[in-house]
Structure 1
Amino acid sequence: MLVLTTPSIQGKKINEYYGLVTGESLLGANVYKDMFSGVRDVVGGRTSAYEEELKKAREVALESMKEKAADKGANAVIGVRLAYHNLGGTMGNTIMVTVFGTAVSYEE
């Protein structure tokens, strides 16, 4: 599945637009506790364990979006955007990763 941030596929003809597809993933508050209660894995002021958890959450959201696109018959998602939201409040320090774009089929 081709995933692009651009609104078109250079050199390719889009045959059909299937509409919006999304993917979401939550990074729970317990991740913060787990990372900072034990040994801190900090390199150059960055917490690599936290970055790895964000990467996993982003990959889950992307895979979810791609599955939804494939279910519609698409072979690409264009105009993809990614956002991180701190849900705070009653959700603690939960972070939601959201990804969305337009599912399309194009001539390969």
Structure 2
Amino acid sequence: MLISNLEVVPGRKVVEHLGLVQGSTVRAKHVGRDIAASFKNVFGGELKGYTELLNDSRQEAIERMTQQAKAIGANAVLNVRFSTSSVAQGASELFAYGTAVVLE
């Protein structure tokens, strides 16, 4: 499955447009990560626990989007975008979406 943020793929032709596909995950912060983050706020530096949480969330959202695309017969998802939103105190949604297509 080709996943791209481009609207077209150079050298490839879109032969069928299958529509919007999406995947999302909602994740809550971890108390241990919050404690570590509070120290980083004082001393500075990367919040590695949150970086890992976001990476895992992105991968899960992409996987869910890809599964949806495969289920409708796509071999590519183009124009992929990400969005985040707060759904509750301490919990956020990471949303991935794009256009499912069949490339020749």
Q: CA deviation digits over 1:44-66, x for unaligned, max 9?
A: 61111110011001100000000
After TM superposition, the score normalised by the length of structure 1 is: 0.85
Post-superposition shift, 1:37?
Answer: 3.4
Instruction: Name the TM-score, length of structure 2 as normaliser.
Output: 0.88
Runs (4+) of structure 1 exceeding 2 A deviation are 36-44
1:101 to 2:93 alignment: no
**Unpaired stretches in structure 1, ≥5 consecutive residues:** none
SS at match of 1:59: helix
Match of 1:45 in 2: 45
Letter in 1 for 2:26: L
- Contact conserved, 1:41 with 1:48, CA < 8 A, in 2? no
Question: Amino acid of the residue matched to residue 100 of structure 2?
Answer: A
What RMSD, in angstroms, separates the aligned Cα atoms of the two structures? 2.0
Paired with 1:71 and 1:14, the residues of 2 have a C-alpha distance of 18
* Corresponding residue pairs, total: 102
Q: Is the Cα–Cα contact under 8 Å of residues 37 and 47 in structure 2 kept in the other structure?
A: no
